[in-house]
């Protein structure tokens, strides 16, 4: 007769603690789902669960608010800023990782310093600059602003990952007749894919969740990102809580799915360059 497997007390304690912490962090999301399903006449009830659920908020929020336009703007901004960041960060990271030019450390330090700037502290100057360029209240203003604030992180991640790839692989490809650009696209970038994916997901999520620049640089409700659109549902005299939570659930689902799909690449990308 097989004996039951016994686990050490430390393992059981750590597992129970992990499940308790997971439940603690998941409770706010469960509350969002419950509130989104509450009937309108039970939004102020003390009971945790309503007498019955009404999921019409998930359909009415698309017709009674600008959620559809806000979601479209957020998708365009997140995708556009991510592409722009990659177009600038990839060559900058490759050059700093492969070439020991004069001022290289100063350049990397300057890139790091820009991470210390908060959008809130710079919004007045950015507002004036984009006003002069005539880009206020457009999708482009949010694309440029989000790309600017996420560029430094992407350069650091990609530079560390490309630096961990042996340069001899590129030299072998160039001996076989491939140029520097060909070696970059055929050898280095495929090997640096986890680092690229890490930069993509962090830039995409940062642009998806950005609020301050969207609130400052856009004014038309149908041209504002999703975060600002949800905030607009909170009025001065009334709050449509069922719409707020329904829209919030719609906002977090794409990011959660995206992160779950490429999570393993993110972990490997963040540890790039830690071991030589």
Domain range for 227: 57-270
| pLDDT tens column, 247-265 | 888 888 888 887 777 766 6
Q: Is residue 47 part of a domain?
A: no
| pLDDT tens column, 85-133 | 999 999 888 888 887 778 777 877 887 777 777 777 888 888 999 999 9
d(CA 177, CA 22): 53
Which tokens sit at 13?
Answer: 């304690």
Contact in structure between 119 and 213 (CB atoms under 8 Å): yes
Q: Is residue 17 part of a domain?
A: no
% of residues, the chain, pLDDT over 70: 92
Q: Is residue 45 part of a domain?
A: no
d(CA 266, CA 194): 6
Q: How far, rounded to the nearest angstrom, does the alpha carbon of residue 233 sit from its chain's CA centroid?
A: 23
Alpha carbon of 187 to those of 99, 166, 180, 192, 246: distances in Å?
A: 17, 11, 10, 9, 45
Q: Is residue 171 part of a domain?
A: yes
Q: Is residue 225 part of a domain?
A: yes
Choose between 266 and 214: higher pLDDT: 214
Q: Is residue 62 part of a domain?
A: yes
In the predicted model, what is the mean pLDDT of residues 167-179? Answer: 78
Closest-CA residue to 51 (of 66, 40, 62, 67): 40
| pLDDT surpassing 70 at residue 7 | no
| pLDDT surpassing 80 at residue 75 | yes
Q: Is residue 209 part of a domain?
A: yes
CB atoms within 10 A of CB 4: 4
d(CA 235, CA 244): 11
Grade residue 141 by pLDDT with cuts at 50, 70 and 90: very high
d(CA 265, CA 276): 19
d(CA 89, CA 159): 9
Which tokens sit at 82?
Answer: 């991510």
Overall number of domains in the chain: 1
Specify the length of the chain in residues: 276
Q: Is residue 186 part of a domain?
A: yes
Q: Which long-range contacts (CB under 8 A, 24 or more apart) does 127-136 make?
A: 127/216, 127/217, 130/217, 136/217, 136/218, 136/219
| pLDDT surpassing 90 at residue 73 | yes
Q: In a 10 Å sphere around its CB, with 0-12 CB exposed, 13-18 middle and 19+ buried, how is residue 119 labelled? A: middle
Which tokens sit at 74?
Answer: 């957020």
Which tokens sit at 106?
Answer: 């100063």
* Phi (first) and psi of residue 220, to 5 degrees: -75, 130
What is the domain-level CATH number for residue 230?
A: 1.10.3720.10
pTM of the model as a whole: 0.82
Per-residue pLDDT, 275: 47
């Amino acid at each position: 007769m097989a004996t039951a497997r016994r686990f050490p007390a430390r393992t059981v304690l750590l597992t129970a603690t992990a499940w308790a912490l997971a439940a603690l962090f998941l409770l706010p999301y469960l509350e969002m789902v419950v509130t989104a399903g509450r009937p309108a006449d039970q939004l102020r009830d003390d009971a945790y669960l309503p007498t019955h659920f009404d999921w019409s908020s998930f359909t009415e929020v698309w017709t009674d608010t600008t959620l559809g336009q806000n979601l479209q703007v957020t998708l365009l901004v997140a995708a556009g800023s991510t592409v722009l960041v990659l177009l600038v960060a990839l060559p900058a990271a490759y050059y700093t990782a492969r070439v020991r030019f004069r001022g290289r450390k100063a350049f990397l330090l300057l890139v790091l310093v820009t991470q210390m700037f908060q959008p809130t502290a710079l919004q007045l100057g950015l507002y004036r600059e984009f006003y002069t360029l005539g880009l206020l209240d457009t999708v482009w203003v949010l694309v440029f602003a989000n790309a600017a604030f996420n560029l430094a992180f992407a350069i650091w991640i990609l530079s560390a990952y490309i630096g961990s790839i042996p340069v001899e692989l590129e030299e072998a490809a160039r001996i076989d007749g491939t140029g520097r650009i060909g070696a970059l696209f055929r050898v280095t970038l495929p090997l640096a894919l986890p680092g690229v994916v890490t930069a993509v997901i962090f830039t995409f999520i940062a642009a998806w969740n950005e609020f301050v620049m969207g609130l400052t640089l856009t004014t038309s409700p149908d041209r504002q990102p999703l975060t600002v659109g949800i905030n607009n549902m909170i009025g001065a005299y009334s709050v449509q809580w069922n719409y707020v939570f329904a829209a919030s659930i719609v906002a977090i689902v794409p990011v959660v799915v995206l992160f779950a799909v490429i999570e393993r690449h993110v972990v490997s990308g963040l540890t790039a360059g830690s071991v030589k």
